[in-house]
Amino acid sequence: MPYPVEQNEKFAAYAHPERLVSTGWLAAAIESGAVANGELVVVESDEDVLLYETGHIPGAVKIDWHTDLNDDVTRDYVDGAAFADLAASKGISRDSTVVIYGDKSNWWAAYALWVFELFGHQDIRLLDGGRDKWIAEGRELTREKPAPAKGDYPVVERNDAPIRAFKEDVLAHLGKPLIDVRSPEEYTGQRTHMPAYPEEGALRGGHIPTAASIPWARAAADDGTYRSRAELEALYLGEAGLAAGDDVVAYCRIGERSSHTWFALKYLLGFDSVRNYDGSWTEWGNAVRAPIVKGAERGSVPVAVGA
C-alpha cells in the first residue's frame, strides 16, 4: 500500500511531487507510527560508512552504497538475488514506500534511490534536504538500530537500459545533450578528481565533447533542499540549453553526484529520458580513444567517432 503523498506548494510545481518528502512531513509520519508499523521504511545512505552509527532518524535503517549496493568483484551493482536479500533484511517489501535520506545534500541517497530504480522499485522518495536539514532543525536522532520484520522481496532482475548509460551508449549518444556535474576544475581538465578528494585514478582530464557544465550542487539550495522548479528550469533549460523532450545523459566521476542531477531532471523537471552514466570520468578518462575536450568550451562531436 503506497503511503499518502505529501502535498505542498513547492513540491506541487515539480513534475513528480510524489518523489519528495519534507523533514516536517517525515517527522509527522514517524510521530503517527507509520515507520514503527512498517507502512513507511526510512533508509539512510551516506558517504561515510559510520555516520549512521553516530545517530540517525528514529526507525531508519542503513544501506551503504559501497558495501551493500556495489558488487564486490565486478564493477557493477548487485544482482537481483542480492538486492532482494538486502531489501528484505531492511524490512522492505516490493510494495513498500521507502524514504531515503543522507549526508552531503543527499548525493549518496540519490545514488541509492537510483539503484532501487534499476530494480524497478515503485514507490521511493527522497527526503528534501537530507540528513543535514533534519539535524539543522534540531529534530530527533537516535543510535537505536531498528530490527525490522523481514520484508517480502522477490528476485527482480535489474533493468538498466531506461536510466543507466554505459560507455557505448554515451558514444552513440554524442550529439544529444550531456550534463557534466563535476566541479569546474574537473570539467576543464585542470584536475581529474574532486578538490580535496582522493585521486581515484583517471589518466586524462577534461570532459565528454559537447557536455554542458552544471555542477551538481547548483541544483541544491543552501539548506540542501532542491531548488524551486523555476530555478531548476533557469539552470537546465536556460543555461545548459536543454529542451522539453530531450534525451539526456548525466555523468560525474563515479555516478554519485550525477544521481542527484538525474533525480532533478527526471522527477522535478519531468524529462522522460534521462540516464546516469555511472562509469563516468573514472571510465571515460581512462578509456583508449574516448574523445575528450579540454578547457571551458563544450566542444563539438568529433567526426571520427562511431565511424
Site residues for another protein per CB under 8 A: 47-51, 53-54, 66-67, 72, 103, 196-200
**Which segments of 13-59 does DSSP mark as H helices, in order?**
23-31
Q: Clarify whether 252 is annotated catalytic.
A: yes
Distance CA 256, CA 262 (A): 10
- What are phi and psi for residue 147, nearest 5 degrees? -120, 80
Cell of 111: 545514488
* Least separation in angstroms between CB 196 and another protein: 6
Question: Of the residues 252, 254, 268, 293, which is catalytic?
Answer: 252
- Residue placing its CB nearer to another protein in the complex, 199 or 222: 199
> How many other CB atoms sit within 10 Å of the CB of residue 302?
14
- Residue placing its CB nearer to another protein in the complex, 66 or 150: 66
Nearest Cα neighbor of 119 from 156, 171, 163, 161 is: 156
Cell of 241: 540549453
**Which segments of 72-177 does DSSP mark as H helices, in order?**
80-89, 107-118, 130-136, 167-173
Per the listing, cell 523532450 goes with: 245
* Least separation in angstroms between CB 255 and another protein: 14
- Residue placing its CB nearer to another protein in the complex, 40 or 202: 202
- Residue placing its CB nearer to another protein in the complex, 53 or 140: 53
Q: Reading across the β-sheet that carries 247-251, which strands appear in turn? A: 212-213, 178-180, 247-251, 273-277
HSE toward the beta carbon, residue 121, CA cutoff 13 A: 29
* Least separation in angstroms between CB 69 and another protein: 12
- Residue placing its CB nearer to another protein in the complex, 130 or 206: 130
- Residue placing its CB nearer to another protein in the complex, 108 or 284: 108
Q: In angstroms, how far is CA 126 from the centroid of its own chain? A: 9
Query: Across-strand partners of 257?
Result: none
- What are phi and psi for residue 226, nearest 5 degrees? -70, 145
Nearest Cα neighbor of 87 from 4, 156, 5 is: 156
Q: In angstroms, how far is CA 122 from the centroid of its own chain? A: 16
Residue 290's contacts (CB-CB under 8 Å, 6 or more residues apart) are 167, 171, 208, 284
* Least separation in angstroms between CB 33 and another protein: 28
Active-site residue set: 252
